[in-house]
Each structure stands twice: as structure tokens, then as C-alpha cells.
Structure 1
């Protein structure tokens, strides 16, 4: 079940990221980051009501754990999105997205002491292979000694780390609730988006000195970003609640296919032979993870 949910989330995220990149160019980083939470919240709220009717409500047994984990999740996701958009501006759409894919191995490392999940050798191999593929795609080998000064690399890795923290804390928050894991994931997601909306709307209103500022920029495009983000987040958060987040994020790297499509068609970017090789490695890593977890 988690495999199909993750594939759905990856497809939605691939489209959302392309729209969000366009929105960042036209309305700025802040509004592009804000749009995914504010305009996605209504759809997620409706989904939560549906989960309540189908699977029942949940109760908070470990209230402090839930509130702390969900709050960290919300802040980390905002930072991850911001870093990813900055990576786009300093490099390219394809490379910015691929650099953020280091989140898979980081989620595995962070999740080991916190979630107590175990991974098979094949899963670890797949995760490592995927990260190596991202490195092959993004690093200019002739400038390897100066790679630490590459803004796209730093922003991409920062995005990957924050996305990894997001996935692990989302899993912790969901498991702190008692009841259906599907509803728990929905509750966690709804709280995360609501908190993000409050924080980012407040910042934009203060900066622009306009209460209606969040609704004045590219409304149609913002709604597209919000709806696709909501659909993708529903898939991600449900997957995090069901299995090890590292497996979800590694399988989610299949969005590389969509990334390459949008990079070439929507943004007219060219891919080098090195980048195609790295992309192939990422696809192989997905196959390794899936085959090692299917029994």
C-alpha cells in the first residue's frame, strides 16, 4: 500500500515543484513557500474530515511528543522548501531538486535512534546508491576542490537535511496519536500546514504592510501549487506513518522522471551525459529499495 501512496505523492510533488519554481520567479521566495501551506490547507482539512468519517478520530496519548515533533516538522519543512527554491535560483530546476534527494540517507540516519526502524542490506545499498547518483548529477568534477563553495550544493544539502527532519518528525508525531494511522497522519499534516500558514502569512503581512498580501500575488498559480502540495503531502505523511520514512523518501526519488521532463520541456534546460548517468543511478536505487522491502 505504501508503495502506491508514495508513487502518487512523488507525481504530485514533481508537478508542484515545477509550478512553485515559476511562482518563486514571479512572486518571490516567501510567497512561493507560503502558497504550498496556505492554499493547500482547505483541501487537507476536507481530507481530514473524510478520514474521521471513514477511520474514526484519534486521541493524544503523548501530547508533548506530538506538539513538539509536529512543530519541528512544520518549521523544518518551511526551511527545506526555502532552501530548495534558493537552489533552483543558483543552479537549475533539475539540479536543485536532485540535490535535495540526499534526504533519503539523512532520514535513515536520523531515524535510526529516534524511530528504531531497521533496514535490510539491500535497502541501505539502495539509499547510498541514490545519494551517490545525486552527487554524480550535481558535482562539477573539475571544480571538486571548490565544491563546498557551490551555493547550489549548500542549498541543496540544506534542503535535504530539513526534508529528512520533516519526514522523521512527521512519523514521530503521527505515532504519538492513538487511533487509525491514516487519520493520525491527516491530523499531523493539518496542524503542520496551519502553523506554517500562520507563521508565513504573518511574515508576509508585516513585510508588505498589507493584510491581504498573501492573496494578491498570482492567485491562480498559488492555488495550483497549494492543491498539488496538499495531495502530495497527504501521500507523504501517510507513507511516513506506515513505514520507515527513509524507504518512502528513497522510493519517492522516482520523481526524477518528472523532474527531468519539466526541466527539459517547461524550463528548456539541457541535461549532460554526467547528469543522465546520475539520474539512472537514482532510478536503480529506487528499484533496489522496493525489491528489498517487498516480501
Structure 2
């Protein structure tokens, strides 16, 4: 496989790791609350990110590049918006099915494409736009049940899910901007460096927030260290792959292909949560796969 197409298996690996992390965090919300479960992803992921950067530096023989003002601004943007996105997603998951909320957040690729075009000048061809529209249409089809509306479980989980997608889009653009703003290093070392800074900033922000406003959740997150460690590892692993993808291609490409996560979430719901798959959901899956196929064809 050529280097130009390496982002494809990298993104698929990221989607698989993120599905596992989301399922783990969803269970943690029941014991340590939404903010506590949000913090787990970053606090317990940060040590794994440091180990990953050290291993990457040894393997490549490269020294992690020094940050500049643009890098820090983009990294902070990515860090803060990802915290908000994760908290909103977990709040929505407490009120609706795991796969449905995942679908709401996956309106993200449309917003990523627009933000990327405006903020980073990332290209958006007609073929890419069509692929994003088809795949996102499949996500929405999976979310709408016959005889009901998107607000059948209340408006709040819908708004939380859509807002989560918007903030995840801004986070993707922020982190891609940070990676591109580094002056030196291979895509791998720039991605790993950005991940460490991003998780470090997120850990610091959430430790201060919880220490000031929710010490009970902070103590609970330390008490639940075993499942939290698993969520942190999967989160760091997923982020490592996401960031490598962002270093290799546009955020819109990565986040559109990442819609396969909806199919993975559906499998989780079906196997572990005893949630059946309907014909409508199967049709939505076909649209998602069709959109992804169009995206990959557009890369030729």
C-alpha cells in the first residue's frame, strides 16, 4: 500500500478502538458521572500517549519537535472542544441507545468538511461532498424510527448529540491544524507529539475543574482505576491512529471514513446490549458503506 493510502487502515483501526472506548466510558457514567467518565479518557490516556511518543521517537530516531504559538493555539482549541464533545456525547448516551447517539454525533463529517475548508483551506471536491452527503444520510436514516420523530426521547439528547458532533468537528480541525503547524518531523512524530500535548492540556484542565467543582467525581475516577485504565488505553490508542490519519490526509477524509464506527456501534448494541437491528438500520448501513466507497474512489 502506498503512503498516500495509509490513512485508510489507520482510520479503520482508530474507529475500532474508539468504539471500545465509548462502550467502556458509557458504563463508567453510571458509577462516576458524566464529567468523571469524561476525565477518565484523558487522565488515564496521557501516560499511554507519553509511552507512545517515546517508542515512536526511538523507532524513528527523531526528536519530538518544539511547539510554536500556532501549534499551541490549535492544540488548545482541539483539547477544549474535544472535552465538550465527549461530555455532551456521554450525557446523550445516558438517555438514548448507544448506536443512536453515535449516529447523532456522526453528523460531524459535514461540519468537518466545512470547518476544514474555512479554517485550514483543506480541499473539498464535488465527489468528496457527495460521498459525505450519502454517508451522513445513512447515519440519519439509522436514527429515524418509523412512526416516531428524532425527538421521541426528548429534545435534549438530540441537541446534545448534534452539538457533540459539532465540537468533535472543531476538535479534528484543531488537532490537524496543530500537526500541520509543526515545522519539522515526519507525520508519525508530529502526530504523536500533538497527541501528548493535547492529552496533557485536557488532563490539566479537567483535574483543575473537578478539584474545584466535583471532587467526589475525581475521587471516584481514581477508585474506579481498573475500568478507567482500559478506557484510557483505548482512548489513547484511538487518538494515536486519528492523529496519524490527520497528518496524512484531510480531516474530512478521516472523519467520513470513520462513519464505519456507526456499524461497529450497531454490532456492540446487538451483541452486548441486546438491541436488535431493523431493516431501516440495515438500509442506513448500506448508505454509509456506499458513501465510504464513493470517498475512497474519489481519492484515486
Fold-level match, TM-score > 0.5? yes
Note the C-alpha offset of 1:135: 1.5
Partner of 2:3: none
Partner of 1:100: 105
- Counterpart-to-counterpart distance in 2, 1:126 and 1:208: 43
Partner of 1:112: 117
How high is the TM-score relative to the length of structure 2?
Answer: 0.91
Partner of 2:69: 64
Partner of 1:270: 276
Aligned Cα RMSD in Å?
A: 2.2
Of 25, 28, 33, the residue aligned with 1:28 is 33
1:217-255 C-alpha deviation (Å, 9 max, x unpaired): 321110110000100000001111111001001111112
Partner of 1:16: 21
How high is the TM-score relative to the length of structure 1?
Answer: 0.92
Higher mean displacement: 236-245 or 44-53: 44-53
1:176-255 → structure 2 map (5 Å cutoff):
176-179=181-184, 180-209=186-215, 213=219, 215-255=221-261
Q: Residues 238 and 145 of structure 1: is their aligned pair in 2 closer, same or farther, counting only changes over 3 Å?
A: closer
- Counterpart-to-counterpart distance in 2, 1:111 and 1:78: 20
Gaps of 5+ in 1: none
Q: Residues 206 and 98 of structure 1: is their aligned pair in 2 closer, same or farther, counting only changes over 3 Å?
A: same
Gaps of 5+ in 2: 1-5
Partner of 2:163: 158
1:17-68 C-alpha deviation (Å, 9 max, x unpaired): 111111112221112101111111111101111222315125447x221111
- Counterpart-to-counterpart distance in 2, 1:145 and 1:265: 24
Partner of 2:133: 128
- Counterpart-to-counterpart distance in 2, 1:72 and 1:38: 18
Note the C-alpha offset of 1:189: 1.0
Note the C-alpha offset of 1:201: 1.8
Task: Say whether the 8 Å CA contact 1:66–1:172 is kept in structure 2.
Answer: yes
Task: Say whether the 8 Å CA contact 2:132–2:291 is kept in structure 1.
Answer: yes
Higher mean displacement: 179-188 or 226-235: 179-188
Q: Residues 204 and 288 of structure 1: is their aligned pair in 2 closer, same or farther, counting only changes over 3 Å?
A: same
Task: Say whether the 8 Å CA contact 1:105–1:128 is kept in structure 2.
Answer: yes
Instruction: Report SS of the residue matched to 1:216.
Output: helix
Q: Residues 209 and 60 of structure 1: is their aligned pair in 2 closer, same or farther, counting only changes over 3 Å?
A: closer
- Counterpart-to-counterpart distance in 1, 2:40 and 2:10: 23
Task: Say whether the 8 Å CA contact 1:205–1:211 is kept in structure 2.
Answer: no
Instruction: Report SS of the residue matched to 2:274.
Output: coil
Of 84, 88, 92, the residue aligned with 1:87 is 92
Task: Say whether the 8 Å CA contact 2:138–2:283 is kept in structure 1.
Answer: yes
- Counterpart-to-counterpart distance in 1, 2:126 and 2:34: 39
- Counterpart-to-counterpart distance in 1, 2:135 and 2:249: 19
Task: Say whether the 8 Å CA contact 1:24–1:31 is kept in structure 2.
Answer: yes
